[in-house]
Amino acid sequence: MSAELIDDYIASVAALLGLPIEDAWKPAVRANLEVSLRMARLVEEFPLPDETEPAGVFIA
Amino acid sequence: MTAASATLSASEIAKAVTSGKLTALEVTETALARIERYDGILNSFTDVTAERARTRAREIDSAIAAGRNVGPLAGVPFAVKNLFDVKGLTTRAGSRINRDLPKATRDATLIERLEAAGAVLVGALNMGEYAYDFTGENVHDGPSRNPHDPSRMTGGSSGGSGSAVGGALVPIALGSDTNGSIRVPSSFCGIFGLKPTYGRLSRARSFPFVASLDHLGPFARSVRDLALAYDAMQGPDADDAACTTRAVEPAAPRLAQNIGSLRIALAGGWFQKNLFPEAAEAVAHVAKALGVTKVVDVPEAERARAAAFVITTTEGASLHLDRLRKRPNDFEPAIRDRLISGAMIPAPLVDRAQKFRRWYRAQLLEIFRSVDLLIAPATPCVAPKLGQVNFVLDGIEMPVRPNIGVHTQPISFIGLPVVAVPVPLEPMPIGVQLIAPPWREDIALRVAYTLERMGAVSAPPPRGL
């Protein structure tokens, strides 16, 4: 994913959520988002049955 | 109380106070004096509740004089991470922003329970901002400092808790653990820490971080003290929606039970990677002491860590969304930037992380059908230097801050109980996780107690004071 695409995405979501992001913060926000999306993709690529329920509160 | 009694354990203090050899007020004054003397170095306390503590200590002494039983923690000083509500203080949660909130009108449940057992609150402790931290550094209050080398991190986010107990300012402290924030400071500061099963201890009147991952628990310098504090805090609490309705299951009376029949194994795979030599040495040391050679692979632990990372950043962002809108410049910048990015994760990816959690939990429960306890590193390294940004791990340079918790996150992700035990390596100690099945804190505590009695693990005296 290009840096430009991520920057556009950040700007759009920030506008939707009403989050102010100063120019000086943008590189760090982008770097953090790239790490989080990499982590999320690692989870997403793991196949799960359609019936899998989320695990909320842990009850053994 | 003499200076020598500053080194007494909680159980020794309680025994001495109950029998009249010491008064609770003497013990309290000694703790306050030690805080006064050493906290300039450690920066572990943000609030010292001296007058409250003296008042409480006098009440205990009066009750004992009247022949009443004041509880198993009679006169024991303790302190709490500053995300616990303390009546009359503002719950800052390591932040600047929360200092504008009204003062708490009632103590957190766990404080009430420790005081009901005779303990004496002496203050609130430094922490990483909003608990989104593994270092113990804080731009508003300054870093808490490691009691074995004040130029090093305490670990976080319960940094002040690790520092105060590691520095022997108090025998017991409370902290919180969302991804490792009890186990990491325990490891770096060379003390015992208990992260109980998710839902075991009430979180009522503590400032949250990630609702589905937040745990509270105790730190101590001995396993018996850890168990005494844990037992005193157990029990249902309608004020915490996640708190179990299970009956209290005291662990302290069972500490000395033989562990010979327990099936213990080393956690393999992910837990044997990303280790500095000291961490591998500590795990091998504990395994050798217990005679353990069996290795059990924990499948997909790396993915579990990733899922915990995603859930943390998104739930954290949700919690702080309005503060990010209105007061972004009052956050610690690194934490603000992480929280903003957390608000941008597409919802389906978070849902996948929660669903993966159930799959992973089932794998661990299957492992625990044939194993009673897993051994794993608590941190990949001993305490880094304050301000250290990167370290080289397995030949790859990577940032310190997010990678300190690589071995703790896959465990708290599914709420398993863990005792972090300190291996007193020189010059810096390091911890090992003893991981038990859900609701079996007693197993982890029994194994920790056995290791302590063998001399294999111990909280070293503060080497930096």
Residue among A16, A43, A48, A59 with most chain B CBs within 10 A, to mutate: A43
* Contact yes or no for A55 and B336 at CB 8 A: no
Domain coordinates of chain B in residue numbers? 3-306+342-454
Catalytic, out of B95, B163, B181, B458: B181
pLDDT tens-digit readout, B134-157: 999 999 999 999 999 999 999 999
When pLDDT is averaged across residues A15-35 and rounded to a whole number, the result is: 95
pLDDT of residue B370: 98
Pairing state between β B215-220 and B192-195 = antiparallel
Is residue B167 pLDDT above 80, yes or no? yes
Minimal Cα distance from A47: which residue of B? B356
Q: Determine phi and psi for B117, rounding to 5 degrees.
A: -90, 5
* Contact yes or no for A54 and B341 at CB 8 A: no
Higher pLDDT, B248 or A56: B248
pLDDT of residue B209: 98
Q: Do residues B316 and A4 touch, judged by C-beta distance below 8 A?
A: no
Minimal Cα distance from A36: which residue of B? B310
Is residue B5 pLDDT above 70, yes or no? no
* Contact yes or no for B325 and A18 at CB 8 A: yes
Cα–Cα distance for residue pair B356/B176, rounded to 1 Å: 24
- Grade residue B366 by pLDDT with cuts at 50, 70 and 90: very high
Helix B333-342 with B301-326: angle, nearest 10 deg: 110
Cα–Cα distance for residue pair B5/B172, rounded to 1 Å: 15
pLDDT of residue B67: 97
* Contact yes or no for A19 and B340 at CB 8 A: yes
pLDDT of residue B395: 80
* Contact yes or no for B199 and A29 at CB 8 A: no
Minimal Cα distance from A52: which residue of B? B355
Is residue B1 pLDDT above 50, yes or no? no
pLDDT tens-digit readout, B41-95: 999 999 999 999 999 999 999 999 999 999 999 999 999 999 999 999 999 999 9
Q: Which CATH class is domain B3-306+342-454?
A: alpha beta
Q: Can B161 be counted among the known catalytic residues?
A: no
Q: Which of B398, B160, B439, B450 is nearest to B290 (CA)?
A: B450
pLDDT of residue A59: 62
Q: Can B385 be counted among the known catalytic residues?
A: no
pLDDT tens-digit readout, B267-323: 999 999 989 999 999 999 999 999 999 999 999 999 999 999 999 999 999 999 999
Q: Can B318 be counted among the known catalytic residues?
A: no
The answer to whether the bond into B62 is cis (omega within 30° of 0) is: no
Q: Measured between CA atoms, how close is B357 to chain A, in angstroms?
A: 6
* Contact yes or no for A43 and B199 at CB 8 A: no
Minimal Cα distance from A33: which residue of B? B341
pLDDT tens-digit readout, B402-458: 889 999 999 999 999 999 999 999 999 999 999 999 999 999 999 999 999 999 999
Q: Does A32 touch chain B (CB under 8 A)?
A: yes
